Amino acid sequence: MPRILAIASLSLASIAVSATAADARPHHGRGHHHDVVRRQATAAPTAKLVRSSARAARSAPVVVYLNRDGGVIGGGDDDAENDRSWLVPGRSATVPAWSGGDARWGQVMKCVKDRFSAFNVEITDQRPTQSGYVMAMVGGAPKLLGMGTEVSGIAPYTGEVERNAIVFVFSENVENDVETTCVDTLHEVGHALGLDHEYLCEDPMSYLWDCEAPKVFQNVDVPCGEDEARACENGPTQNSWQTLARNVGLRNESNVPAQVPAPPAADDSADDGSDDGSDDGADDPADDASTDDASTDDGADDTADDTADEPVNPYGHGHHHHMAIEMRGPSGAIDGNQTIAITVRAHDAREAILGWVSPTGNMALSCGSIPDDAPARCSRRGDTFTFELDVGVGWRYFAAKVIDRGGRSLTTDFQQVFLRGEAE
């Protein structure tokens, strides 16, 4: 099946298709394929595409309308408000309504909302009244756009946010399966939000499918690619989590510990080489009390752990004082509707804050002042803070921030976990 390819343009010029034949790429074991259509600029600046800067994206959510009602989509420049897509060959294409029933549709909506829940993206199945939104047409089969039966979706891609784009998810081609339709929607909308294909099975932007956990945007730098690794459009690798956070922002990000750039290296010229991470070089009894940490304890001085197991973001603060943080919690897919523990360890920390992102809202939990009615508790032993949270089901994201006695702070990257089970 021919796959339409074109060079991505970052300009505001009018967009046209440059058609080049290429082999179709496998999506997953069921034999599905995605098509991504890249654009190249033409001379006439008539496109109505709205691209958002990082600052604009953070101030207003990107609205994504999942259209289950179908409709007639005309050809022309992308204009979701007026049902026009340049992906449509000819004058128009009629997309039928979602045929999977209300119960499955509700599950698809919940799945898509859940997996976009960390980001400043508003998912709705009601047509927005304002302009400037992404519309996903969920329904029908690829023959509507003249494509083969192995295609499960198609979307435009420029490497930037396209707030007027229309993407197509051919749910009838996967028999309206909830998980596959959800992932296909994440994939196609992801292209409209600036994401390339990733060569990582656990990410929804991947064509690979032989992984155990449900697909979610991963906070890891990986190559791009379809059936083999390649360089990405915007660099050698892509991190779908960080790219979305940069392109659209995090939901309620003022309530979540912000990530920090790579810190400057410690000033080794002021260090005599004997520092082991303590303030004065002496053994700190608090270190020996940190038995809650997931690392093993052989009875030796625990300060050795600070260098043996490298923390997430080491940060130097002058001679004979090094601040570091590590966070350990569940990952992958685990049972939900239980209590989970997340440990945060940082030498000489005055306070630890856990940022917790869920579909129902975000929390910033300060270990020393968690409200009594919160579904969380925190205890401290030495340099280790242990947060216990009563959790439900679905995707969760979490990051930690520590503040030392001098007021300096350090933050981890976000981690994610999928909680299996039925909502209670």
Domain boundaries, the chain: 15-251, 268-420
Residue 73's SS3 state is: strand
- pLDDT tier at 68, thresholds 50, 70, 90: very high
pLDDT of residue 34: 59
Given a cut of 60, is residue 370 above it in pLDDT? yes
The arithmetic mean of pLDDT across residues 349-359, rounded, is: 89
Most confident region among 25-39, 85-99, 245-259, 318-332 by mean pLDDT: 85-99
For the chain, the average pLDDT equals 74
The rounded distance, in Å, linking the Cα atoms of 32 and 26 is 6
pLDDT of residue 23: 29
The rounded distance, in Å, linking the Cα atoms of 163 and 179 is 25
The rounded distance, in Å, linking the Cα atoms of 329 and 336 is 14
Residue 368's SS3 state is: helix
Residue 420's SS3 state is: strand
pLDDT tens for 307-346 read: 333 323 322 333 334 568 999 998 777 888 999 999 999 9
Overall CATH class of domain 268-420: mainly beta
pLDDT of residue 251: 75
pLDDT of residue 288: 34
The rounded distance, in Å, linking the Cα atoms of 221 and 223 is 7
- pLDDT tier at 45, thresholds 50, 70, 90: very low
pLDDT of residue 30: 36
pLDDT of residue 277: 35
The arithmetic mean of pLDDT across residues 35-55, rounded, is: 37
pLDDT of residue 397: 86
The arithmetic mean of pLDDT across residues 144-149, rounded, is: 91
pLDDT of residue 280: 36
Question: What kind of fold does domain 15-251 have according to CATH?
Answer: Collagenase (Catalytic Domain) (3.40.390)
pLDDT tens for 241-296 read: 889 989 998 876 544 454 433 323 333 333 333 333 333 333 333 333 333 333 33
- pLDDT tier at 33, thresholds 50, 70, 90: low
Say what percent of the chain tops pLDDT 90.
49
Long-range contacts of 341-344 (CB under 8 A, 24+ apart): 341/386, 341/387, 341/388, 341/389, 342/386, 342/387, 342/389, 342/398, 342/400, 343/292, 343/293, 343/294, 343/384, 343/385, 343/386, 343/387, 344/384, 344/385, 344/386, 344/387, 344/400, 344/402, 344/412
**Same fold across 15-251 and 268-420:** no
Question: Which residues in 109-157 belong to E strands, given as ranges?
Answer: 121-124, 134-138, 151-157
Given a cut of 60, is residue 2 above it in pLDDT? no
What φ, ψ does residue 41 adopt, rounded to 5°?
Answer: -75, 145
pLDDT of residue 324: 85
The arithmetic mean of pLDDT across residues 111-139, rounded, is: 94
